Chain A
Amino acid sequence: MQYQDSIGYITKSIQNSNQKDRVFYLAYLSSMAIILSILEYLIPKPLPWMRIGLSNAITLYAFGVVKPKEVFYIVLARVLSVSLLIGTFLSTTFILSLTGAIASYFVMLLLFRYFKKIFSFVGISIIGALTSSFSQLFVVNYLFINSQLSYYLFPVLGGFALVGGIITGYFAEFLVRNI
């Protein structure tokens, strides 16, 4: 796994682990993401779109530890479990969070592959957050309300994504240094 080595913080134990240990490790990462996501739902917010995206820090962390395919499993497990726990499974909220999660996953995957020299966790996190927000706006615009409302929300959501992305990026860096 030369891709993992290039990140620079992988432990030997995970790299050379067997299938069973890997599954346990993925479940461990997923549960951390779920807990962070739910904790974030508990924070009172003036606007429903104001999300920090702390669970994205786990995704960022996972990109360096496990295979990209397995990161995708973590993302999917997180979105599904959180929607079941919060009670939004198959609702609009669920579709939006799935959209944002998948879109930001693919963008962050590209960034980790090709732009790792340029960006740190913070940069990748910001771009991921922006992708998440704007893909959700796109879906809202074309699936649900079909109006130009989204143009007016662009700067607002972009600002939240920037701040949340910076926080999440630093949090991911903190995780990498301390776990």
Chain B
Amino acid sequence: MSKDRPNQVLKLGDIVLILMVIIGLGFLSFNLYGNDQGNKEVMIIGQNFRGVYPIEKNRKIEVKGPLGDTIVVIEDGKAWIEYSPCREKICMKMGKISRVGQQVVCVPNRVLVEIEGRNGDIDAVSR
């Protein structure tokens, strides 16, 4: 029936639109995902201690607990517990954390290390 329709489907507006959408989405994703690295900080909570540190700066923090000093290390955008005086050393085996929401916990020595988003980041994701 539609013999009168042109062979070429796309009009100029379509091509411009597609290009604009691609550019816009690229720009948007660059803005959203690009500077993800500088948007995190490490929160450390001890028995009588609470500190928030930027993740970019390498440092060693000693946190006093009921059993002794727990040593938390922040290096290369990652945080982990280097040494803990507790018996099982589970917190040391929990490894390095770098993403928002990840935690390392030492229950016997009352130490919590968590990566937090600075602002406008996701609080929680249900899975």
Contacts and interface: CB of A to CB of B under 8 A. Distances in A.
Contacts of B14: 119-120, 122-123, 126, 169
Interface residues of B, number: 26
A152 interface: yes
Contacts of B123: 147
A119 B2 contact: no
Contacts of B107: none
Nearest to B121: A148
Interface string A117-151: 11111110011001000000000000000011101
Contacts of A169: 9, 14
Nearest to B8: A120
A158 B28 contact: yes
Given A9-B1, A154-B32, A119 B17 contact: yes
B121 to A, nearest CB: 8
B21 interface: yes
B18 to A, nearest CB: 7
Nearest to B122: A149
A130 B4 CA distance: 30
A8 B122 contact: no
Q: How large is the interface on A (under 10, 10 to 19, 20 to 34, 35 or more residues)?
A: 20 to 34
A136 to B, nearest CB: 17
28 contacts: A8-B2, A8-B4, A9-B4, A11-B1, A115-B13, A118-B11, A119-B17, A120-B9, A120-B13, A121-B9, A122-B10, A122-B14, A123-B10, A123-B11, A123-B14, A123-B17, A126-B17, A130-B21, A148-B120, A151-B32, A154-B28, A155-B29, A162-B18, A166-B18, A169-B9, A173-B5, A176-B2, A176-B5
Interface of A: 8-9, 11, 115, 117-123, 126-127, 130, 147-149, 151-152, 154-155, 158-159, 162, 166, 169-170, 173, 176-177, 179
Given A120-B10, A123-B11, 18 more contacts: A8-B2, A118-B12, A119-B13, A119-B14, A120-B13, A121-B9, A122-B9, A122-B10, A122-B14, A123-B17, A126-B17, A147-B123, A155-B32, A158-B25, A162-B21, A162-B22, A162-B25, A169-B14
